Structure 1
Amino acid sequence: MKSGFVMLAGRSNVGKSTLLNALVGTKVAIMSEKPQTTRHPVRGVLHDPRGQIVFVDTPGVFLGKKDPVSKRLNEMVKENLEGIDAIVYVVDPTREPGNEEKYIQNLLKNSRTPIILAVNKKDIPARKKPYLEDARAIDVGQIGSVEISAKTHANLNLIVNKLFEILPVGEPFYPEQQFTDMGRKEWLEELIREKAFQYLGQELPYAVHVEVHDIEDREDGSEYVQATIYTTHENHKGMIIGKGGSKLKEIGTAARKELETVTGNKVYLDLNVKVDKNWPQRFQ
């Protein structure tokens, strides 16, 4: 049996969270087109007859930003390189390589950890990937490279096969029925934040934060969840609530429906919006 920890590395919005969910076979990381969607290292567990792989989805890199959230996210990328058995470096060939890409490549070149290069979006026609050759030419000392699609799962088996070749012999870290180390409260907070990003689109900056205050399992089998969406500005609060509460209702309804699908139980979601200019400082 093999077992080990594998870090998914790459700049923001290259598809790491989508890839994590695809590899694990269930949703453990939230997905959004907005940057800074992933704010905490999320662990997803792949169970296989050959052993167990614990994937760590890390935040992207945000150079040039001085706010507390961006600083902390960049620190997390460095911290999570410690104790990792292998790295899957995810690249998006539809986007021009920039300073963030160079920064990550420098980090990886200085690492002694085995690296697999994963060029994402194989499902997209080559004419829509102007930087495909640049991606193919990347050299961070990788032990192999593969073109994949996190969306359609194309060639993900090649990554898994290569990882089981190089991971050390060891016992599983998690029981077979466990697919993430994220707690129930944290998962709920991430789910609500995902729906906020989804329904607010480009109207709102990334600076929203969700806290679940109460989870109650009721005698009739239903679940009551009380949560607050925090933002840093009063005008942003109005955007989240929407006219007559329409946006907040959309966010709450989407989160509730997904939660009911996962649990199979009726869910009552009590969702509020508050302004707290200091939540980014608390994030540290």
Structure 2
Amino acid sequence: MRIAIHHTSHYQYEQPVPYALQRLRLRPQSGPGQNVLEWRVTVDGVEPGTSWTDGFGNRADLVRHERNKLEIVIVAAGTVETVDMAGIYGVTYDTTPPWIYERETLLTKPGERVQALAESVRASSGQLDSLHRLMNAVHTMIVYKPGSTGVGTDAETALRDGSGVCQDHTHAFIAAARQLGVPARYISGYLLMEDVAQQSASHAWAEAHVDGLGWVGFDAANDTCPDDRYVRTATGLDYRDAMPVSGVRSGQGAETLTVEISVTQVPGQSQSQSQNQSQSQN
């Protein structure tokens, strides 16, 4: 299907900001299961001047603001064509080998709860079965509750408190998968939800490297594997590697961030028609 996305991040400041530096990871890339037909990122109406591909394969932009500003508006928008791959992203031949994703981070550091979770789903029937059981367990143990956690909440804390958002489900899954000896990585992106076009945050899920299949997606927040409703934007060891916007600023006063995201299906086009038009544009 074709999915249209419009993502606005509106930063407002109590006092003028003389200097700010922002790194953006807001550009989905074409690959297994998705083809980016059009995409544009603007900051205050202007396209970023510096762009590169980071070590995880994410397309990133660097934006520098050097005048007193009371607001910064970042818009990422475009159309992506997706195909249902039954959650299987597959084997990739990039610069980041799977074993890199066995490394723990501050957000995925295992404690007693993560270790107990991993042991509870360890199955003799195989690696893939253990991962599906892990996804089910995390979905049950962490109740979706917006505002109950923050960007610095780690997997152990989310499991202890029993509530969180998709970021927390993803960190808990990743942390336990790594305890099972399975490379696991964080994916940020967008999800087309039924009857919910307007959203206040992007989505997150995990991918685990399964023997014989390569990377396989697991969305513990929704207890399902990704299909053609998902658009992946960035990947990393945890949220900090894949967060849409990060940066530093000088000046005093509080910062307020408002996020508005629209994710809708483009109507009136069959799958075969969209594939033919996509091929003609490449």
Name the TM-score class by shorter chain.
under 0.3
Going by fraction, where is helix more abundant, 1 or 2? Answer: 1
Using the size of structure 2 for normalisation, the TM-score is 0.23
Tell me which of the two structures has the higher relative contact order, counting C-alpha pairs closer than 8 angstroms and 6 or more residues apart: 2
Using the size of structure 1 for normalisation, the TM-score is 0.23
